[in-house]
């Protein structure tokens, strides 16, 4: 009697049927896969909402005023942590040192960044306007307000070859007529110093109230990291790099940047880029059958029932 199991009848019969069972299973799996692919290709997604790039829903804006030389270290801190800042500059003070009289009789001397270094210092950051001579916009004539902003636009554009679309009000001082006047120059947002302590958007982008001054930034760090809301939000921080002469304040900022820089669901963005994105969302046409991103718009990310999708200019998607 042979020891070879293939000679035994029961085993032989089993080995004969095994390939048949396997290939049947394969056909069934292929058939199911085909049906699945066919159905999913045919099924149109439904539109849920807009997101920031890459499906993010949280954003961070870091807006710093005056353009003094301490910006150099702050900009480097942002870069180390993959963060983007918006720096609001007084174009007529670039390269000079001037004294600012204080209410208590002291004078604070400020040294401003040199004209020829803007594209080095702010290479990875947004450059924005802050009034050529830092005048109080609610205490001067309309012509003077326009002069302050138009001078900034002219000088900053010529030094950087960039389009300037953001600004911060000197002393945070503004009102309806000032904000309308500034919007007429092509500026798309105007930041105040009225802290909201929220992560909400303003109704009027020309009266953009920030979340908080950087002296309170750690109070809002954990709440923002833990925020898990469907709606878009922004953590908007403002301040002056010259205030970081205070070591405790600087160390707090380092801690803030190092922590928030590690988060992977927050879009660190310049104020102008954020504003442009929000304005571009408003241009997207959504109706019951279709969502269309106009040809002259920028790419927009949308949340569909099938997942996050980037919608390029000129692209449209049929909806369920």
Site residues (vs Zn ion, CB under 5 A): 65-66
- Closest to 113 (Cα-Cα) out of 99, 143, 134, 92: 92
If the CB atoms of residues 65 and 214 are measured against Zn ion, the closer one turns out to be 65
Q: Which residue has the tokens 């000129």?
A: 314
Contact predicate 150/167, CB 8 Å: no
| Residue of this chain nearest to Zn ion (CB atom) | 65
Minimal distance, residue 238 CB to Zn ion, in Å: 10
Minimal distance, residue 248 CB to Zn ion, in Å: 22
If the CB atoms of residues 137 and 220 are measured against Zn ion, the closer one turns out to be 137
Minimal distance, residue 208 CB to Zn ion, in Å: 15
Minimal distance, residue 87 CB to Zn ion, in Å: 11
If the CB atoms of residues 65 and 126 are measured against Zn ion, the closer one turns out to be 65
Contact predicate 234/59, CB 8 Å: yes
Minimal distance, residue 97 CB to Zn ion, in Å: 16
If the CB atoms of residues 135 and 249 are measured against Zn ion, the closer one turns out to be 135
Minimal distance, residue 131 CB to Zn ion, in Å: 8
CA atoms within 13 A on the CB side of 47: 20
Contact predicate 164/187, CB 8 Å: yes
If the CB atoms of residues 147 and 243 are measured against Zn ion, the closer one turns out to be 243
Distance (Å, whole) CA 287 – CA 266: 29
Minimal distance, residue 228 CB to Zn ion, in Å: 35
If the CB atoms of residues 97 and 312 are measured against Zn ion, the closer one turns out to be 97
CB neighbours of residue 143 within 10 Å: 9
If the CB atoms of residues 66 and 214 are measured against Zn ion, the closer one turns out to be 66
């Amino acid at each position: 009697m042979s020891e070879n199991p293939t000679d035994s009848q029961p085993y032989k019969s089993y080995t004969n049927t095994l390939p048949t069972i396997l290939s049947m299973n394969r056909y069934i799996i292929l058939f199911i896969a085909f049906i699945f692919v066919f159905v999913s290709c045919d099924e149109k997604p439904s539109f849920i909402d807009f997101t920031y790039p890459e499906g993010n829903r949280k954003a961070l804006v870091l807006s710093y005023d005056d353009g003094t030389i301490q910006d150099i270290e702050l900009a480097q801190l942002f870069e180390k942590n993959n963060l983007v800042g918006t720096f609001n500059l007084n174009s007529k003070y670039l390269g000079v040192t001037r004294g600012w009289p204080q209410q208590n009789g002291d004078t604070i001397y400020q040294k401003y960044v040199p004209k020829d270094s803007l594209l080095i210092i702010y290479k990875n950051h947004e450059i924005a306007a802050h009034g050529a001579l830092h005048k109080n916009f609610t205490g001067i004539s309309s012509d003077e307000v326009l002069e302050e902003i138009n001078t900034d636009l002219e000088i900053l554009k010529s030094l950087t070859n960039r389009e300037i679309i953001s600004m911060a009000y000197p002393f945070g001082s503004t009102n309806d007529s000032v904000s309308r006047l500034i919007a007429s120059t092509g500026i798309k947002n105007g930041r105040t110093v009225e802290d909201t302590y929220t992560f909400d958007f303003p109704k009027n982008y020309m009266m953009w109230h920030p979340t908080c001054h950087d002296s309170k930034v750690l109070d809002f760090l954990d709440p923002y990291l833990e925020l898990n809301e469907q709606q878009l939000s922004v953590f908007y921080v403002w301040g002056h790099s010259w205030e970081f002469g205070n070591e405790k304040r600087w160390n707090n900022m380092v801690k803030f940047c190092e922590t928030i820089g590690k988060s992977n669901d927050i879009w660190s963005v310049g104020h102008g880029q954020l504003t442009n994105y929000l304005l571009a969302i408003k241009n997207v046409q959504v109706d019951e059958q279709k969502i269309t991103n106009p040809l002259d718009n920028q790419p927009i990310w949308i949340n569909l029932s099938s997942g996050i999708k980037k919608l390029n200019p000129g692209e449209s998607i049929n909806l369920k």
